[in-house]
Amino acid sequence: MNEPSDLRGVMRRFATGVTVVTARPESGPPLGVTVNSLTSVSLEPPLVLICIANYLRMHAAIRDGGHFAVNLLNGDQEALSRRFAGQPAGRDPFAGLRVTPGPMTGAPILPSGLGHLECRLVAAYPGGDHTIFLGEVLAAAASAEQAALVYYLSRYHRIAHPGPPETTPDP
């Protein structure tokens, strides 16, 4: 590969869902960061992976605390995604938000998302300037069906909910 921009140019063509990963460190305020690297890994046991930049405070919070939550954003939550992305030092992205502590991990659960996962860290793998965190899903909850927020071609998009699945009558 020639340049990092080559990889970026290809990957911007891959549509991804948008999440906010949160954690509650033992000391200090809760942390959150916008993440689009979420992958379901296994159903038995229930595992997901996320990737977090090594320089973020969130990285240390997950590594040291061993728990995190993944909040899946709905199509109307672009502002919330931006709020947790590229945060300037000293700004609290949770200010004014009504969050609920996750019953399994205490990590903040954001309001009105598509759903959330509470996870226990089971492994961490180096991945260049990021760490790949593998989490066991301790609790999962989905909200009412609604539009999804996706990121594609370096912009946010809203994908409308298609409605109930079509069913074919039995012969």
The model's confidence at residue 170, banded by pLDDT at 50, 70 and 90, is: low
pLDDT digits (tens, 9 = 90+) for 135-144: 999 999 999 8
Nearest to 133 by CA among 141, 144, 143, 125: 125
Give residue 86's pLDDT band: very low, low, confident or very high (50, 70, 90).
Answer: confident
Residue 4 has pLDDT above 90, yes or no: no
Q: What residue type is assigned to position 50 of the chain?
A: I
Which residue in the block uniquely carries the two structure tokens 């260049």? 128
Per the structure block, which two tokens stand in for 67?
């728990």
Q: Label residue 132 by pLDDT band (50, 70, 90).
A: very high
d(CA 149, CA 134): 23
User: Residue 49's closest CA among 108, 121, 133?
Assistant: 133
Please report the pLDDT score of residue 169 as a whole number.
65
The mean pLDDT of 52-72, rounded to a whole number, is 96
* Segments making up each domain of the chain, as ranges: 4-159
Cα torsion through 116, 138, 102, 119, rounded to 10 = -70
- Please check whether the domain covering 4-159 is classified as CATH 2.30.110.10: yes
Give this prediction's pTM: 0.90
Mean pLDDT value across the chain: 92
Please check the confidence at residue 9 and state whether its pLDDT lies above 90: no
